[in-house]
Amino acid sequence: MKYVIILGDGMADEPLAELGGRTPLEYAEIPNMDRIAREGRCGMLRTVPDGFEPGSDVANLSILGYDPRNSYTGRGPLEAASMGIDLGDAEMAYRCNLVAIRNGVMEDFNAGHISSAEGAELLRDLDAALGRVRVYPGISYRNLMVVPRARGAVTTPPHDIVGRSVREFLPRGDDAELLRDCMERSREVFAGHPVNLRRVQEGKTPATEIWPWSGGRKPSLTPFREKYGLAGAVISAVDLLSGIARLAGMEVIRVPGATGFLDTDYEAKARYAVDALDRLDFVYMHVEAPDEAGHMGSVEEKVRAIERLDEAIGIVLDRPDTTVAVLPDHPTPIRLKTHTADPIPFAVLGKGRDAVSAFSEREAAEGSFGLMQAPGLLSLLFSR
């Protein structure tokens, strides 16, 4: 038996008046997700333990069976692992967004979805100006900062404060002064930078500065094969998921055309997942697009992303002898434009059947799995 989890980041949502009181999952045309629910079993999954911020880092660790209460140190070190940065004992890594702040207000947490090449150019010049703190370019606005001899700081995800004054959300704690200084340096370097001048001329949002958040030290994860006795891989366009995979000793499968945004190649991810199952036992296929649409507050884009993911799922369902699960990692409600910690719906094809007829938040709540804690999902999936 082979196993696949298909994860639509942030797919879960709330009923929306503009959709006639339905959620995006209820409104979207998703025959393949509905088939998994109708011919399989459903339930609800709590992916964020009490006391944790509802981030994709915590949620995906949980779904892969790594209890964040024992394994989570921050998002930064997970992304560092993906980028091949081996943190020393005294170092901490922070996720480092390129953002747009105007008049003290967080206008855009992703600087208009700045391109990876533009971000790399900005960070190259910033790195030269920072001294002992290093910054590393990632994908689009998603970059990394490494602080030596770090003591830590309390930070806030920038996507949680769009449209709000940043003053009360600036870093606090032992390393706050250092982080704030780096932010100030970035404002100086980015002001008048050729990248930003070109973006303004093209009518795009410039990156006004960096925003470091979710710092931590290198975590230790039990190898996936040791934990489950199976060979597994992750398919994702974002460093967070690739980092978790590397720390867990899983294979990282790179897919051409996977962007981490709305224009990602959904079907290519599905084809690569199916091909990988010829030599592996388990594939975790992560798609970021629904979450990005949720952060944008775009109902249309979220529905479209869900429907395009559903089309790709049909490729996976064509493979015989495969147990398939579909789920989000957390809700990203259109109304809030950020994550919540509410339980999410999940459906599994290949573990029996219940009376649920479609895949959605309300339908899955009636499923026979009931409410589960996420770290137990893979044990359920792999059980004979």
pLDDT per position as a tens digit, 333-355: 999 999 999 999 999 999 999 99
pLDDT for the residue 44: 98
**Crossing angle for the helix pair 299-317 and 266-276, nearest 10 degrees?**
30
- pLDDT for 312 equals 98
**Predicted TM-score of the model (pTM):** 0.89
pLDDT value of position 384: 82
Task: Encode pLDDT of 177-208 as tens digits.
Answer: 999 999 999 999 999 999 999 999 999 999 99
* pLDDT attached to residue 380: 96
Residue with tokens 């979710």: 214
Q: Distance from CA of residue 125 to its chain's centroid?
A: 27
For residue 113, the model assigns a pLDDT of 95
Give residue-wise pLDDT tens across range 233-281: 999 999 999 999 999 999 999 999 999 999 999 999 999 999 999 999 9
- The percentage of residues in the chain with a pLDDT greater than 90, rounded to a whole number, is 99
Longest dimension (CA), the chain: 61
Is 296's pLDDT higher than 90?
yes
d(CA 146, CA 216): 10
Give the pLDDT band (50/70/90) at residue 26.
very high
Mean pLDDT for all residues in the chain: 97
pLDDT tens-digit map of 110-164: 999 999 999 999 999 999 999 899 999 999 999 999 999 999 999 999 999 999 9
What is the SS3 string spanning the chain?
A: CEEEEEEECCCCCCCEHHHCCECHHHHCCCHHHHHHHHHCEEEEEECCCCCCCCCHHHHHHHHCCCCHHHHCCCHHHHHHHHCCCCCCCCCEEEEEEEEEEECCEEEECCCCCCCHHHHHHHHHHHHHHHCCCEEEEEECCEEEEEECCCCCCECCCHHHCCCCECHHHCCECCCHHHHHHHHHHHHHHHCCCHHHHHHHHCCCCCCCEEEEEEEECCCCCCCHHHHHCCCEEEECCCHHHHHHHHHCCCEEECCCCCCCCCCCCHHHHHHHHHHHCCCCCEEEEEECHHHHHHHHCCHHHHHHHHHHHHHHHHHHHCCCCEEEEEECCCCCCCCCCCCCCCCEEEEEECCCCCCCCCCCHHHHCCCCCCEEEHHHHHHHHHCC
Mean pLDDT, range 49-62, rounded to an integer: 96
Assess whether pLDDT exceeds 90 at residue 72: yes
Average pLDDT of 50-75?
A: 96
pLDDT at 24: 98
Contact 365, 358 (CB under 8 A): no
End-to-end CA distance of the chain: 10
pLDDT, average across residues 280-305 = 97
Q: Among residues of the chain, what percentage have pLDDT more than 70?
A: 100
